[in-house]
Amino acid sequence: MNQFSPSVCIDAVFEGRTFQEACRTVHEAGIPAIEFWGWWDKDLDALQEAQHENELVISACCTKFISLVNAADRSAYVDGVAASIEVVKRLGNNILISQVGDFCEGVSRAVQHESLVEGLREVAPFLERAHVTLVIEPLNDRVDHPGYYLVQSDEAFQIIDEVDSDNIKVVFDIYHQQISEGNLIENIRSNMAKIGHFHAAGSPGRHELQKGETSYPYVFEQIRAAGFTGYAGLEYWPTDSECLPSLREVAAWFRKIQAQADSCDN
């Protein structure tokens, strides 16, 4: 992957629809990739059949939703990552998305931070051997995820520095970070080497990217200009039952950004 491209989270955008319908629409929109959340609750054979028929790649999926901040869950988390690595090797993608769990009441934040770092250090060798990148996800706790531990991107980037593995980075969710902290462009630019994946949705509301206060064409242009090559997962719930037009518009943004980059290279 040597370009910056969109990917569609089919669990959100096509919630309740078949893999075939989702993949066909993504292909028709001119978007090259899909992603999804859990692999353990899906018919992966059917998913891959729809993916291949529509000439798509899988950009990312999640590891099991087990707490990293609670040291008592460490063994289960490590086992979940090991199982997820085997799945992504089958699917052909190399990005695993990991949430970190809710804040543990009665335990200091410092202790939970250290548990998170120690857990990531434990799985790092597995990821490195498999050439898989695990990306931890800060989420907003104001609207969507009250009680979640990791909210601010600065702590996420600090964790990456402490773990010190090229195979552990951050998924920078533009929607969540717009709610939590703003200052999107500078936070992205100054930490680009620590970002392995992006997510995007319109804010407020978590709907189409065209419906919200974030100027996504500009944000995506700046991400590409900063040298990022990888995917931005479109992770939202559409307000329109016919989502093809909005997806086609996003695909056109990326084509324009790539054309501008190619022009600068020549």
137: annotated active-site residue: yes
Indicate the number of domains in the chain.
1
The string of pLDDT tens digits covering residues 132-187 is: 999 999 999 999 999 999 999 999 999 999 999 999 999 999 999 999 999 999 99
- C-alpha–C-alpha distance, residues 71 and 49, integer Å: 39
Q: Which of 35, 122, 137, 213 is catalytic?
A: 137
Question: Any residues with CB less than 8 A from the CB of 15 and at least 6 apart, and which?
Answer: 237
- C-alpha–C-alpha distance, residues 260 and 262, integer Å: 5
Q: Which of 49, 213, 235, 242 is catalytic?
A: 235
Question: Which sign, positive or negative, has the C-alpha torsion 168, 174, 177, 182?
Answer: positive
The full 3-state SS of the chain, as one line of letters, equals CCCEEEEEEHHHHCCCCCHHHHHHHHHHHCCCEEECCCCCCCCHHHHHHHHHHCCCEEEEEECCCCCCCCHHHHHHHHHHHHHHHHHHHHHCCCEEEECCCECCCCCCHHHHHHHHHHHHHHHHHHHHHHCCEEEECCCCCCCCCCCECCCCHHHHHHHHHHHCCCCEEEEEEHHHHHHHCCCHHHHHHCCHHHEEEEEECECCCCECCCCCCCCHHHHHHHHHHCCCCEEEEECCCCCCCCCHHHHHHHHHHHHHHHHHHHHHHC
Longest dimension (CA), the chain: 58
The string of pLDDT tens digits covering residues 79-96 is: 999 999 999 999 999 999
Q: State residue 209's pLDDT score.
A: 97
Categorize the per-residue pLDDT at 126 as very low, low, confident or very high, splitting at 50, 70 and 90: very high
**Which structure tokens are listed for 23?**
């993949």
CATH code where residue 184 lies: 3.20.20.150
- C-alpha–C-alpha distance, residues 205 and 202, integer Å: 6
In this predicted structure, the answer to whether residue 69 has a pLDDT above a threshold of 90 is yes
Nearest C-alpha neighbor of 30 from the set 255, 256, 199? 255
Mean pLDDT score across all residues of the chain: 96
Q: State residue 266's pLDDT score.
A: 61
In this predicted structure, the answer to whether residue 2 has a pLDDT above a threshold of 80 is no
Question: Which sign, positive or negative, has the C-alpha torsion 100, 106, 108, 109?
Answer: positive
Burial class (CB in 10 A: 0-12, 13-18, 19+), 105: exposed
Domain that holds residue 59: 4-265
The string of pLDDT tens digits covering residues 188-208 is: 999 999 999 999 999 999 999
In this predicted structure, the answer to whether residue 213 has a pLDDT above a threshold of 90 is yes
Start-to-end CA distance of the chain, whole Å, equals 20
pTM, to two decimals? 0.97
In this predicted structure, the answer to whether residue 1 has a pLDDT above a threshold of 70 is no
Q: State residue 63's pLDDT score.
A: 98
Q: State residue 116's pLDDT score.
A: 98
235: annotated active-site residue: yes
Q: Give percent of the chain above pLDDT 70.
A: 99
